[in-house]
Structure formats: C-alpha cells, structure tokens
Amino acid sequence: METYIAHQDEVKRIQLLRDHIRGVESIAAGEGEKLGISQTMRLIALFHDMGKYSDDFQKYIRQTSDEEVHSKVNHTSAGAEILMNLYQKSWGNDKLQPVIEMLCYVITAHHGPYDMVSIDDEDKFTRRLNEVEAQEARMVFERWSRDLRINISDMAELMQEACKEYNTAFVQKFRDISDEKEYRFYQGCFVRLLLSMQIDADWTDTANAMEPELMEELPETASVIKEAWSHYCEYMETLQYKSAGKPMSKKEVQIDQLRTQIQQESLSFTKHPSGIYCLAIPTGAGKTLTSLGYALKYAQERIGTKESVERIFYISPYISITEQNAQVMKEAVGNADWVMEHHSNVVNSDDNARNAETSWEETFICTTMVQFLNTLFSDKKKSIRRFHRLKHAVIILDEVQALPVKTIHTFNLMMNFLSRICGSTLILCTATQPMLDAPDIRRKIEYSAPRDMIVNLDRKFAAFERVQIDTALLDMKITAEALAEQIQKTFLEVHSILVICNRKDSVANLYDKLSEQCENTNIFYLTTNLCAEHRCEVLAQIKGLLGKAAQKTLIISTNLIEAGVDLSVECVYRSLAGIDSIAQAAGRCNRNGELDRGTVRVFELEGDEPGHHMDELLAARQKTKEILYRHKVAQASESILFPEWMQQYYEIFYGELKSKMDFTLTGRLQGETIFGLLSEGFSETRAAHSMRQAFQTAGAAYEVIADTGFTVIVPYGEGMGLIGKLEQSTEKENIRYYLKKLQRYTVAVYSYKVEQLLKKGAIRECCTVPDVYIAFGYDEKKGLTDIMPEAIF
C-alpha cells in the first residue's frame, strides 16, 4: 500500500496522513461528546485533510520548497467538495442544507475563516467548492477511502447522525427564537464552535506527533477541582482566623460579618442549574474570593456527572485587575501551575506558538475582557481555537459594567449561546450591575431565575455604606492648580487621599505639581506606564503606609485603581465619569469602615475629558450629572450609589446609546455592523445559501480597542537580566520561557507612541521576537516615559 504523509519537518520527521486524520478524529469526537455532537466532529475530522492525498501535496510535503508548487497546493477544498457532491442531490431537504453548508464551511476554513459571500457579492463559498477538478477529486477520494478503510455506507451513517445531532444540539434549543437575524447569528456561533474544536484537534494531534517535547501533560480536571476546593476552604478559614485576631471597630465587625454572610449565600446558590446569574455585591464585600468559592463548590458538586465542569474562568476588564485576581486565585487554590494568566501581548507575539501559552487548557484561566471577546469573535486562528474551551465552564465576568456599549448586542447573544448550547454558567459580577436586559437594549441577555445570587441587596448596600458623596466642586470646571490647592487643604484634616483622573497626562501633570508643593507627604504615581511588577510593589508600599497616622499618603492614579485593588483611604477625589466609575472609586474609601464616613469628592478637571470611546464616556458624564440632579431634587436619603439609582443611570445611559449596540463599522465597511455580518452577511448579499455570514471580515473588524498597540519590555528589577537572556536565546522553548517570565515587566504602548519612542531612541525592536520592543530606560517613579535614556540614567 502506498504511503501518504501529512507532515514532515526539517529533520525529516514525518507523520502519516492516515494516522493524523484518525488522531484528529479521536480528539475532535471526544471534545464534541458532552455537547452531543461527537459524530458531527468525527465527520469533519475525517474529511478535513482529504486533499492531502493529491499528487501535488505529496510532492510538496516530501521534498520541494518550490513556491510555485506550494501555491498550487490546496488541501482544504477536496473533502468539502466531495461531501457536497455526495449529498447535494438531497438539496430539496431544507433540514439537510444548513448541515452540509456548515460541515463544508468548517472543512474549508480549518486553516482560517473566510466570508461566505464577499462585500462585492462574490460567492466565495461556492468557489471554494469548485477548486478541485472532478478527475483529481475522484482519485483523492479513492486513496482516502482505501487508506482509511471507509466506504460510502459508513459516510451515509455519519451524515445521518450529524443531521440528528444538529437538530438536537442546536435547532431544538433555539426553536423559540422568532427573530431570523438572531437565529442566523446563533447559527454562526455554532459554526465557530465546530471550527474551534476542529482547529484545536488538528493542531494538538500535529504537535503530539511533530513536537512532543513541547507538549505539557496536565493533571486530570476532577482531581484538580477536588484539591482546589479543599485548599480554598482551608484558605478561607485561615483568613477568618487572622481577621478574628485583629482589633476592630463596630462598623468593621459588621462589615466582616456581612462578608461572611454573602459568601455563605453564594455557596448555597450552587444548587441552581447552569445559567446566567448576577452577583451584585457592594465594593469591599470580597467578590473575588466569593465568586471563586461559588465556582469551586459548583464544580466539585458536579464531578462525575453530565454537568461536570471543565474549566473556571475569571474575566477582568483591565490587565491590572487580571494580575491581582490571578494572584488571589493562585493562593486560594493552592497551586500556581493550575492557573493560566493570559493577557500580555508578549505571550501572543509568537505566531507559531500553538501550545500551552494560548490554548487555555489549564483548569483555571485568568484573562482580560479583550482576550475573552477576541476568543468569541476574532478571525485569528489562535482565538478561534480557544472558543470551545468555554464549554461546560463557570465563567466569572468581573466588573462587567466596563463592557463597551458597542459590544452589548453581540456580547449578550454570545452569552446566551454559551449558556444554551455550551452548558456553561456565567456570573456577572460587580457592585455596579448593568441592566443588560434594559428596555432600550433590543438583543437582551437571558438571565436565569433567580437572577440575583444574593438576596436583600438594598439592605446589604445600606450596611456597607461607608462614604458621603460631595459634588460641591462640580459647580464649575477646576484647574489643576486649584485642584492641587484643594488637596493640600484636605490634608489638614486627613492623612490619606486618592485622586483619580481620566487621562494619563492629567495624572502626570498633577503628580508633578503636588510633588513640588506637598511637604512631608508620600506621593505615588499609578498608571499603566508602570509595568505589573512595579505597580504591585508601589501598591505594597502604599498599603504599608495607610493607616499609620504619622504618615501622609497621596496616590494619584488613572482608573486602574478603581477595581480589584484592596486599599482604603480617608478621602477620594474622582474626576467626573459614569456613576459606575464613581462607585468603584468610592470602594477605595473607608473600605473596611475604619471611619464613621469617608468622603468622595467629584470634580470636573480642565483637560481631563476622556480620550478613547469619546462618545460613550461623554454620555456617561452627562447622564451622571442628570442622575445627580434627580437625586438632589428628590432629596433622597439613600446614597446615589445604591442599586435603585444605578438602575436609573443605566436606563438613561443605554437609552442615549441604543443605536450603537450592534457594533457599527466605519470606513470601507460604512453601513455594516458586526451583528449584521455575523447574521446575514453584507447587506447587499444576494447568494442563496442557508449561511451568508462574513466571518472573516467581522472577525478582523472586531476591535474592542481601536489601537491595541505593542508590547514594550522594560528594564525594571529582574526584567533587565531577563531581557538579556531572551535576546541571547535561540531555542524556541527558551524564548517562550523567558517571554512568559517577562510578562510582569511589560508595558502596552499605542502604535503612534511606539513610533515617537523609536524616533527619540527611547526603545528598540527586540531581536528575537517580532512586534515586541525593548526600552532603554525606565523611570523609578513614572515608569516608561518618552524621556531620553541618558536623562533617565
């Protein structure tokens, strides 16, 4: 029998084609089993590399590096073309058409998604299914069926099973959807799920055969969950024991008791089935450990059942929160190796890294909302590969109010998909819970019943009320000089102040002014210009000083300090923003009830208007002023930060921006939306396919942040030595190792800023990793700046 090769490396190590296809089949079918689509995945896997049986491909893989030969090799179309030709005669069956289209799309797209129909109305799907000549297709099919010992009746049985699975796993679960566009959107999500499992199975099997030395064997999930839950319980007992030994005021005792009560309510909520729930608890109530405890107990109770949990995710809006949550999670579960922390551009810079760094195989994943949304929508293969990791998971979405308005409709529908189809539980976790089913939101999230994990929210918020909101400074815009004067006066009454501005340059300007004017005061600067390691050290210094009456402490920061940072000051100054941001800032004031009342002063600083998401943030400021006015007119006794007023804020805020929620696009895609592209494709599309989605265009256009920028590695602390080791490394595994170690010594920089820093000679390109830069200098106070390195040193 002739031998056919799937892969061959530079040292002539090979993987036989039949071994690869069978290997992918086994992995893909296993991933699809709990979702009830194992036979569907088996069928896709068997057909995905059928084109590699062609003479052209075998010639290319065995010996040639001829680019002309390589460009003619197309191994992704043959299997889909043959599958379509076998079953197109049954086209009159409306139930069969979408199944075949989905199968054929996934087969042809397993090396990258494409649009079913282009913006110019070119039928790309049909073209993909007509790229292999009939005679060659017959030859490929004969070789494939002989090599794998598969006959027509085997395929007919698999196709029959795939149709049944599609009906059970998808159609029946969305039979109540009357909006055709939403139905098609969910259909596109299902395609992404199939494609994700196929890409992952393909890459995993290839790596097992060709790069076994890079593959890491992970422990069994069930044993990890059991051990992590046991350690969590011990960890919480230790925290309670330490807390019990501290002298506390009456207010502190009350807050401590309420935290324990909230944790117990959360743990008892695990009796409810998978769904979409809200964990709305006041700032300072310990939501990170509370939500993690729920997830661990939920997972531990379902070990060995059909609802068993495969992973626990903690999604945060900012890198700074992700870093802190990851550290808390590592300590709580008792083993740092079980936790994957994924946020740095450094990790993603190696396009050939197909393994542990980006595949989300670990039991616990801490990542950012941007990475999460990329996994849901991006056209990048690494992002698509991760998508199926979200099935049978507990997904904690921390500070979900930070979700950009433009993403709301696609986010809501995708959460519904993860709940309905993937059997995952989603916890929307924040003190400022957004109304994602508000009247002006057309495509609503499907909250489960009961929606709230914690009862009697108003009473709990009242018990946690620790601050008074002072809006006297909002009468007119204030200059940086006048604000600096106000802060100095406040220091006559208190010992610790936190100032939060909207812009980095506002923080830097105010820091410079107050550094010159404030005597005998510890002044700290906090923005994302500081690398993670530096920020952690600064926060540790701050916590060490707070509470010491002899030490005056001033912190000047961007909003990175508003969530996930456990510190408590006597007074907060917050530049005007949305009420949700003001509430988060208030969570850093009198956090543990050390005082009878702390003070949060809201001001409007000249030149501190928001930069990115301008329309959204300006609307947030305007609606905050409206709610503050309503609150004043009503002479309300309760705080403006209570759920009742937060709900009113979100109603008018979402009402103002309701036209932007489909993710409107600009430029060449003017008039299109992400929702539209992922449901019915381009608005002018006329092709008669069951599926018309523009998957690739939507994925490429889905940018949560318009300019994600680049990674700059900074010579701070241990980072200096690691930079040298990284640039001296030649082995791929060593480069990956040092990149991972360097995550905490990186700063994300916008593209335009990178160009400025390059021109000034403040940074240079990394010689071993593309699109990563090295800073020559680093300021010990303000981090990465555009100051010339000579001045820094």
**pLDDT tens-digit readout, 156-205:** 899 999 999 999 999 999 999 999 999 999 999 999 999 999 999 999 99
Angle among Cα 189, 193, 198 to the nearest 5 degrees reads 145
Annotate 254-273 with b (16+ C-beta within 10 A) or e (fewer): ebbebbeebbebbbebbeee
Q: What is the mean pLDDT of residues 523-533?
A: 93
3-state secondary structure of 489: helix
**pLDDT tens-digit readout, 198-236:** 999 999 999 998 887 777 778 899 999 999 999 999 999
Given this model, what pLDDT does residue 245 score? 67
Given this model, what pLDDT does residue 349 score? 39
Peptide bond between residue 450 and the one before it cis (omega within 30 degrees of 0): yes
**Residue 89 pLDDT level (bands cut at 50, 70, 90):** low
Q: Which residues fall within 8 angstroms of residue 393, CB to CB, at 6 or more apart?
A: 309, 310, 311, 312, 313, 422, 424, 425
Taking 80 as the threshold, does the pLDDT of residue 73 lie above it? no
- The neighbouring-strand residues paired with 605 are 478
CA nearest neighbour of 512 among 21, 767, 763, 501: 501
Residue 469 in tokens: 């909101």
Taking 50 as the threshold, does the pLDDT of residue 454 lie above it? yes
User: How far are the Cα atoms of 201, 350, 701, 714, 726 from residue 747, in angstroms, in the given order?
Assistant: 34, 17, 24, 7, 17
Specify the length of the chain in residues: 793
The answer to whether residues 390 and 192 touch, using CB atoms and an 8 Å cutoff, is no
Q: What is the mean pLDDT of residues 767-781?
A: 91
Rounded distance between C-alpha atoms, residue 289 and residue 278, angstroms: 15
Q: Tell me which H or E stretch contains 746.
A: strand 746-749
Taking 50 as the threshold, does the pLDDT of residue 354 lie above it? no
Given this model, what pLDDT does residue 596 score? 85
Taking 70 as the threshold, does the pLDDT of residue 641 lie above it? yes
The answer to whether residues 278 and 433 touch, using CB atoms and an 8 Å cutoff, is yes
The strand pair at 710-713 and 772-775 is best described as parallel
Taking 60 as the threshold, does the pLDDT of residue 410 lie above it? yes
Residue 728 in tokens: 């001296």
Given this model, what pLDDT does residue 94 score? 64
Rounded distance between C-alpha atoms, residue 277 and residue 450, angstroms: 8
Rounded distance between C-alpha atoms, residue 293 and residue 299, angstroms: 10
Backbone region of residue 522 per phi and psi (left: phi > 0; alpha: psi in -120 to 50; beta: other values) = beta
Q: Which residues fall within 8 angstroms of residue 176, CB to CB, at 6 or more apart?
A: none
Residue with tokens 């159609």: 171
Q: What is the mean pLDDT of residues 390-401?
A: 95
The alpha carbon of residue 723 and the mean position of all alpha carbons in its chain are separated, in whole angstroms, by 27
Given this model, what pLDDT does residue 577 score? 93
- The neighbouring-strand residues paired with 525 are 556
Looking at the chain, the whole-number percentage of residues with pLDDT higher than 90 is: 65
**pLDDT tens-digit readout, 95-139:** 788 899 999 999 999 999 999 999 998 999 999 999 888 899 999
- Highest mean pLDDT among 11-15, 70-74, 333-337, 783-787 belongs to 333-337
Rounded distance between C-alpha atoms, residue 13 and residue 211, angstroms: 10
Q: What is the mean pLDDT of residues 140-154?
A: 93
**pLDDT tens-digit readout, 310-331:** 999 999 987 778 888 888 999 9
**Residue 759 pLDDT level (bands cut at 50, 70, 90):** very high
The answer to whether residues 79 and 51 touch, using CB atoms and an 8 Å cutoff, is yes
Rounded distance between C-alpha atoms, residue 281 and residue 294, angstroms: 14
Average pLDDT, the chain: 89
**pLDDT tens-digit readout, 411-426:** 999 999 999 999 999 9
Long-range contacts formed by 160-165: CB under 8 A, 24+ apart: 161/39, 161/40, 162/39, 162/40, 162/43, 162/99, 162/103, 163/95, 163/96, 163/99, 165/36, 165/37, 165/38, 165/39, 165/40
Burial grade of 197 (CB within 10 A; 0-12, 13-18, 19 or more)? buried
Given this model, what pLDDT does residue 355 score? 44
3-state secondary structure of 705: coil
Rounded distance between C-alpha atoms, residue 696 and residue 693, angstroms: 9
The gap between the terminal CA atoms of the chain, to the nearest Å, is 70
Taking 80 as the threshold, does the pLDDT of residue 631 lie above it? yes
Given this model, what pLDDT does residue 283 score? 78
Taking 60 as the threshold, does the pLDDT of residue 64 lie above it? no
Round the CA-based radius of gyration of the chain to a whole number and report it: 28
Q: Tell me which H or E stretch contains 586.
A: helix 579-586
Read out DSSP for 344-413? -TTGGG-TT--SHHHH--SSEEEEEHHHHHHHHH---HHHHHHGGGGTTEEEEEETGGGS-GGGHHHHHH
Taking 80 as the threshold, does the pLDDT of residue 93 lie above it? no
The strand pair at 746-749 and 710-713 is best described as antiparallel
The alpha carbon of residue 681 and the mean position of all alpha carbons in its chain are separated, in whole angstroms, by 25
Residue with tokens 């890459």: 203
Given this model, what pLDDT does residue 351 score? 41
Q: Is the dihedral of CA 164, 170, 171, 172 positive or negative?
A: positive
Given this model, what pLDDT does residue 766 score? 92
3-state secondary structure of 208: helix
**More reliable by pLDDT, 239 or 411:** 411
User: How far are the Cα atoms of 229, 418, 621 from residue 705, in angstroms, in the given order?
Assistant: 36, 23, 20
Rounded distance between C-alpha atoms, residue 498 and residue 556, angstroms: 6
Read out DSSP for 55-122? HHHHHHHHT---HHHHHH---SHHHHHHHHHHHGGGTT-TTHHHHHHHHHHHHHTTTS--BSB-TT--
Taking 70 as the threshold, does the pLDDT of residue 612 lie above it? no
Given this model, what pLDDT does residue 1 score? 54
Q: Which residues fall within 8 angstroms of residue 144, CB to CB, at 6 or more apart?
A: 50, 53, 150
Rounded distance between C-alpha atoms, residue 39 and residue 455, angstroms: 44
**Residue 613 pLDDT level (bands cut at 50, 70, 90):** low
**Residue 250 pLDDT level (bands cut at 50, 70, 90):** confident
**Residue 562 pLDDT level (bands cut at 50, 70, 90):** confident
The neighbour count for residue 749, using CB atoms within 10 Å, is 23
Rounded distance between C-alpha atoms, residue 436 and residue 581, angstroms: 17
For the ranges 5-19, 113-127, 249-263, 421-435, the lowest mean pLDDT is seen at 249-263
For the ranges 7-16, 389-398, 622-631, the lowest mean pLDDT is seen at 7-16
Q: Which residues fall within 8 angstroms of residue 433, CB to CB, at 6 or more apart?
A: 278, 280, 400, 401, 643, 646
**Residue 71 pLDDT level (bands cut at 50, 70, 90):** very low
CA nearest neighbour of 137 among 129, 127, 148: 129
Burial grade of 531 (CB within 10 A; 0-12, 13-18, 19 or more)? buried
Given this model, what pLDDT does residue 67 score? 47
- Side-chain-facing half-sphere of 253: CA atoms under 13 Å: 7
Q: Tell me which H or E stretch contains 227.
A: helix 221-244
What is the identity of the amino acid at 663?
A: F
Looking at the chain, the whole-number percentage of residues with pLDDT higher than 70 is: 93
Residue 504 in tokens: 């980095």
pTM above 0.85, yes or no: yes
User: How far are the Cα atoms of 6, 8, 65, 210, 212 from residue 13, in angstroms, in the given order?
Assistant: 11, 5, 16, 7, 12
Given this model, what pLDDT does residue 793 score? 26
Adjacency order of strands within the sheet including 746-749? 746-749, 710-713, 772-775, 763-765
